[in-house]
Each structure stands twice: as structure tokens, then as C-alpha cells.
Amino acid sequence: MTQLSLVIDLNVCVGCHACVTSCKEWNTSGEAGALADLMPYGKDPTGAFFNRVQTFEVGEYPNTQTVHFPKSCLHCEDPPCVPVCPTGASYKRAADGIVLVDYDKCIGCKYCAWACPYGVREVDPMRKVMTKCTLCVDRIYDDALPDAERKPACVLACPTNARLFGDIHDADSNVSQAIRDNGGYQLQPEWGTKPANHYLPRRKTAITIHDDELIRADNPLSKELDRPTGPVKEQTLDDVTSW
């Protein structure tokens, strides 16, 4: 049985959000339907996204590192969102393992969002249906596209090749090899959902920061520290005007 999935290399993801914008662009014009954008240029932009990038720091100052963590539907092999759907709108395809939503059946009850432990289900505020990553199913099976372009939009847009796409059940696939060679792992495996998407961990890099590097070279106060110390001289008006 085929299980298509994404493998994301956290060591090379730079948090540029190219995957977010390309996903939004493709799926808004594709079979998934227009994803809502409310006040996109306002103070509080909202809408529906299939893919988001979370950014945070790890470590203790000054030895900290910034981590960019892309997250979308993980296309679990045992998806908890499917059995809770009262209308059968959420389903998993047997042919390729992709989890999808039938918008004609979805009533927007949000049961699937409550069941998903990864928080990757969103309700479209305009259409009132649940939305999620489709792995660009309408693109990867499009015979009109060259083989090199029959990949999810986020994979094609990534400038650092941090995203890989393939069949994790195929031992010789690029994603399976990446998982084996780089210690790929599943997100929260303790939930028993068997997420198909995997992450490649960041490699530890030794960083040594010396005390003198914490002081700005152009700090004007450093000049004060270089002045000779001695008894304080009482300033006069002539001293001030002579500066």
C-alpha cells in the first residue's frame, strides 16, 4: 500500500514562508476552492491556511538557536479525524493514503478539528467547511504537467529543498532514505495516529561565544571605559564651552 507524505528537514528550513504562500496560491485557484483571506493587509489578517510555519528559539541565552517548524496535515495512517466525522466528509484514500475532505458532505461541525491532536484542521470562515492540506492531490496526478512538476506546491517552492515528497512505504524512495539516514521522526507518536509526514531533526552545532563578543564594538560607552580614571575635576563654564 502506498503512503504519500512529506519529509521536512528542520536543519535547512529558513522560515521564508515560501511554502505558505505557494500553498495558498495553488489551492485558492485549484480544486480545493478559494481559501478565505479576511483583511489580508489589515491589522488583524485572518483566513484559512493549509500550511503554517511556527518559529521559536531553543537553548539558553546567549547560546540560542532559532527553529522554523512548518506544520500541516500529517496524513496519518490511522487518522482520528475520519471516524468522528458524522457525515463521512473526512476520509482516507486507500490508493495513496491521502486524507481528504468532501466539501459537499462537510457541515462544518469541527469534530475533526477537535479530534486532531496536531491542530492542523481549520474552518474556512467564508464557506463554513473544514479545510486541510491535500498534498496538492489535483497537481500530483495532473498528466498535463511534466513529471518534475507533479509535486506539492510547497515542495516546488522551497528554496532550500527542505521539503521532500514521496512514498514512505517504498524503502527505496527518497523520503524513506532521508528518514533512515538522518534519524527522521514522527510528531507526537505517542498518540498512536502514525503520522505519515516526518521531520528530520536539527543537527547540533557547537557555538562558542566569548564575553567580549557580547559588547558592541560601536558602543559609545566603550570609549568612556577607555578614559583614564582619576580624581573628578569640577567643571567650569569654560570647560563646557570648549567641547
- On the question of pLDDT at 211 being above 70, the answer is no
Span 127-132, mean pLDDT?
Answer: 93
Contact 152, 162 (CB under 8 A): no
Span 210-225, mean pLDDT?
Answer: 58
pLDDT higher for 155 or 212?
A: 155
Q: Of 42, 49, 46, nearest to 28 (Cα)?
A: 49
| Sign for the pseudo-dihedral over CA of 87, 153, 37, 53 | positive
Span 183-188, mean pLDDT?
Answer: 95
pLDDT of residue 243: 43
Residue 213 pLDDT class (50, 70, 90 cuts): low
In sequence order, what DSSP letters do the residues of 68-87 get, joined into one string? EEEEE----SS-TTTTT-SS
pLDDT of residue 39: 82
The CATH fold assigned to 4-200 is Alpha-Beta Plaits (3.30.70)
Span 121-140, mean pLDDT?
Answer: 93
Span 116-124, mean pLDDT?
Answer: 93
- The neighbour count for residue 174, using CB atoms within 10 Å, is 13
Q: Among 8-17, 152-161, 197-206, 230-239, whose mean pLDDT is lowest?
A: 230-239
pLDDT of residue 100: 96
Residue 231 pLDDT class (50, 70, 90 cuts): low
pLDDT of residue 220: 54
pLDDT of residue 42: 83
46-99 pLDDT per residue, tens: 888 999 999 999 888 888 889 999 999 999 999 999 999 999 999 999 999 999
232: which DSSP letter?
P
- On the question of pLDDT at 142 being above 90, the answer is yes
CA dist 196 and 186 (Å) reads 8
**Domain residue extents for the chain:** 4-200
Span 31-44, mean pLDDT?
Answer: 78
Residue 132 pLDDT class (50, 70, 90 cuts): very high
Give, in order, the Cα–Cα distances in Å from 188 to each of 77, 80, 85, 196, 197: 14, 14, 22, 12, 11
pLDDT of residue 23: 93
pLDDT of residue 218: 63
